[in-house]
Structure 1
Amino acid sequence: MRISQSKIQVTDGTAEPASAEITSGKRTCPACNVAVHKALSTCPNDGTVIEEPPAFKRSFAGKYQFVAQIGSGGMGVIYKAKQPLLDRYYAIKMLNVQKANQRMLARFHQEAKAASTLNHPNVISVHDFGFTDDDDPYMVMDFVEGMSLAALLQSGGAIPYKEALGIFIQIATGMNHAHILGVLHRDLKPSNVMLTNPESVVAEVKIVDFGIAKINKAEESSSLTQTGDVFGSPLYMSPEQASGMKVDARSDIYSLGCLMYEVLTGAPPLQADTIIQTMFLHLNQMPMTMSEMHPSAHFPESLEYVVRKCLEKDPSLRYQSMLDLKVDLVKVSVDQPIREQKYAAFSKTPSAIFKLNWLQIAVAILAFAAASYTIFERREMSVESERREAQARSIEQKFTSDLRSIGSEPLSGIDGETFVKQEVAQGKSVISFPGLSADDSALKYIEGNPNIISLSMRANDISREGFTHLKFPNLKRLDVQETEITPELMTALLNLPKLDHLNLSKTRYTRSSLTQISTLKYLRSLNLCRSNLSDDDCQIIARMTNLEQLRIGFNPQITDKGINALKALTNLTALDLNNTSVSDKGLTVLKSLNKLQDLQLYQTHISDDGVKTLAKMPLKRLSLSDTMIGSKSIQYLSKMSQIKYLEIHQNPQMPLQLQRYLQDKMAAQGAFVKIDRGAQR
């Protein structure tokens, strides 16, 4: 269910309520005739106060005050509500009883029972379930402010692996808790992962929607067996789930592998035009490596190993528990080696157990739809699982702050200085403040530390004097967002002799400070997104001829004049021009950048003529979403044989059938094309 924010505000009822006609669980506003759901006491259109139906009022009187509708979908509606006695907000999910059938009711009940079994910081909590006096089923859950991982991917594309690892470890942590209690999710995907602080260095994860979960209670085994549904989402479905075989925790691990692959590359590992074709791929084809899918990104070999191991067709070759997966993800996050990395062992062809033909797959799908809803039995902890648990405890003790930052322990009461003391005590070389703003004392404590090679922080709590402590002889990567580039910060940057990656997105700068940044001779990657850059600033950036990656998206003041200056950056392999004012004319100057492989042009003025220019460039990854391209672009794009990933969705001038045609044609050459949802078969 996609959540759409609403500004509907329920009044306190002091005004005289108007009478309203009540039909099918809704009321009609007497002033404007707009249908108003019975949970709301004011009309969202004109604010008219409407009296609530007595039955609904009795159900929640003294318990909850409804504030706003925050989501809706085929099954029902979600409201934000306040519990006055506790002064806390909750989300109340109500099933649309007018559209519900026994299948929906069973699934709704299943979600409530599965989620209520769990109690973990990374899993959504269900606090109550029941029926109103009108016999409408409802569920009271945690209220989560944030966005889904799917929405984050939609808005910004692939997430850098160092940022994504914290998300992955939290998912594995939450799912390990669920598996220990005998609950399988069976529908892990980006839209079912909520991020409560998506703008922070490490967002907090909440796993949601256990609507098709499998739990260890016999009463659930019958109610959902006759639904006729194929449980799960084909893009993330394990081979055994797709073929109707018995599933266990390793099926969720495969789904998490698909999720990780998409987060890191911007595209799912396997995708075809139809459900059956997609399931066939999951059964019979290994995906290309992440580096092949996203050639402009850098993935450690250990991370490629972890994701690929999750995606093994044979469950016995995958990680055998979320705990094992979590241990290796933590090791990747701190650059520790993973034991038994046998990269060559991964076969390009799947195990014979899942190598099925089309007829077998069709039969499997039919069988799966009718398969009995079996019970996931909780197993006793074996000697081997005890060994893994001990290993995990050892890892968590060694990397306490990493796990703190991703939700294994609460961060309440911890400040920046305390955090870095823990990091330094454990010999950390990569320090990322977990939702905390670094402060003067934190920087002072780690000043001059030769072991630190990467530092990521929000700097809004650092004073001008505090930046004088930003002295690290071996620092290679610095992420210091949402701040002002003061003379003190500028002096510190100029005295970081090995700095090669600099993220200054959402910063406030002067022309003088940008000029000084251009003198950083080792800099290879620069991010100045959302920093109010202009064409004149591009003239300065063009002096940085060693740059290989440049992100200057969401600076609409940049025009073709500024783009023209960038032709001097002949070493560029990746360029982000999203939401700038570049036009077709501006693209012509980029043809000279023969090393450029990744070009992002989301929300720009590019038309078919611009695509004709792009077709002559050696691009492997290209975003043309929400531009001005139309049908004519198809002939140019179809000739770009080197493309591995292409986005063309949100282009109303390009007919859906042509989008499908291009997707089919480029799939034959191993490329993924992201098209409009309506164009999917």
Structure 2
Amino acid sequence: MTANPESELSTDKQNVTAQSVMPATPELKTGSIILERYKIVEFLGAGGMGSVYQVEDLKSKQMLALKFLNKNQTTESSWKRFENEIRAASKLDHPNLVRVHHSGLLPDGQPYFIMDLVKGDSLSQLLKKHGRLPLDKVIKMFVQVGFALSYAHTNGVIHRDIKPSNIMIQVPTTDTTIGSVVKVVDFGIAKLTGKDDFNQQTLTRTGEIFGSPLYMSPEQCMGTPVDHRTDLYSMGCVIYEALTGAPPLVGDSALSTMMKHQSEIPLTLKEASLGIEFPERIEQIVARLLAKDVNERYQTAQLVTSHLVTFESAPTEARASEEQTQVVDWRLEKKWAVTLGAIVCIAGFFIGLNIPGYQNIITEKPPEWSEITRQKIMAGVDEYSDKSKLALKKSSLTFFEAVANNPEKFSTYSDKHGKRVFKFPPEEIGKMSFIGKEEHLALGNIESPPLFEGIMFEPREQLRHFPQFLSRFRDDDIKFLDLSYIENYALSAPSENLHVDNLIPYVLNLKSICSISLRNAKINPANFNKLEKLPNLCELWLSNINLSGDELVKSKQLSRLKLLALDNMKNAKLVVKEIGKAKEINFCTLRNSDIDIDDIRELSKCERLRFLDLRGNPKVTDDCIILLPAGLHKLNLQYCDITPKSIDSFKRFKKLTDLAITAHLWKPEDVARLRRTVPNVRLSP
């Protein structure tokens, strides 16, 4: 119950500090007054570097913490370390850090400082009680730790001793407090960037290595100069322990542990926790934090925090869906479906296919956002300080602006056959993948397969503020450009943030693009029409965009499409007429678009149509079935007015492999009869 009693009282065998000698008894008596202002309330703890007391400020009546150097600490390094903590903490004023109010010398000459009093437990204490913590609590906790480190690093302070005992969870002071506030404490061995000769010396001085080997970065263990990225490694170690119950690397001694940090790759979270499943995204975040090479690690605390915030803000059901359907991630499946002539032969399509906006295509109607979830999305991460969020945004935009303005191309040719190497910045700027390959974070060097056929690229939202970044791609680098926005962001973002108009002039220079997704985006009709200048464009993913059907049909590109995906489009009937003229179209989604039998007659002209999704169109009735193109392979009729009367009509689809209907509205015997009628079709209720 202090600003940091446990850090001073640590008995961990692998905690390396200067002379660890604890005073046997408190040096100050309860009730005594010091400095004519502070009343000693309680002795909270003592360690090698100092004693901590709870005190009452007699002027403000505020409860604070007093920390002073123990009398037995007479070495120069001990004094400098204590002074260093005062200097470092005095530079910082942030909700997730302990604020120093003032400092000086006690009457007997001992240095002291007065700081915030933190009522609560350390993460170390929580782990001793519970072994490991739930994922959601860990994420919330380390979003705040990330904000604290981001602020400290921005102000030239590197902590260098991030560990569970230096992370305090403050008890809410009122019933209205939203959650607990996390405090990063104990800047005793912090490095002040640019003016910290003492720290540079003591880090390598024999016998005076400072830190906690269980959480020290490889460069810290080797005694080489460190920068802010050492804190990110330590942060990864602590997240790992919070999730699994044990640090990532433990040796028989402090020295062996330090050696392991330099050479040994830790187990995955799943392996370390004996089989507990963690979201793949969390495995990736922790693994990147624990990278041995500082250049492969996260480069800023801001980026770590933004990734954790993004994960935390996603609805629970969305995370579960993501984990269950990794194999059919829509970004991997959709972009090559028509381009490569696959005609959407996607395994398990009707068992949760993920395409733009159509996750879990044949489940029942997706759950609505709860009011609590909606409020949280609209409010953003409102439990964290505005200062932190503004600092995160400012620093992120500065980075992305620098990336966008770099004149060098991302890709270089590695051989005469066209193999390429993409040299992205050391921080993630988006997502990318090669044809038929797994999706990557767009960071660092990524080598293409021997035969380069283009990439999928999805830029991060921050990068879109600087559209010139697209000029860093060669005109034949990108085959599929994903400019969509995820639903939870689209719900909360200001309308102007969803516009992609500023990108279009740069998009038009990428002549190899054959597929574009604008899901949940906004675009001016005139700019949309300019896309027809792309000579290879044959796929449009337009779910929930701002354009209406009468605006869409003005584009000449509809007639040459092979794929079109619409959802919630006003006046979609006009678009359907144009689709009927498209000789090559074989993939069409028209969800929630007021489609009726007249529109079905237009679609019947599409002889090459193989995939048709009409979900959410109640005017599509039994009479429409006999009008649909007979060559369909996959058909979704969920939430259409289809009854058992149409069962025999499905016999005409000789090539049908997958069918989705709203079967829970049918009697079981009717569903059974449908299965007997089309025995070779995968039926999804």
- Say which one has the larger Rg: 2
Which TM class, normalised by the smaller chain length? 0.3 to 0.5
TM-score for the superposition, normalised by structure 2? 0.43
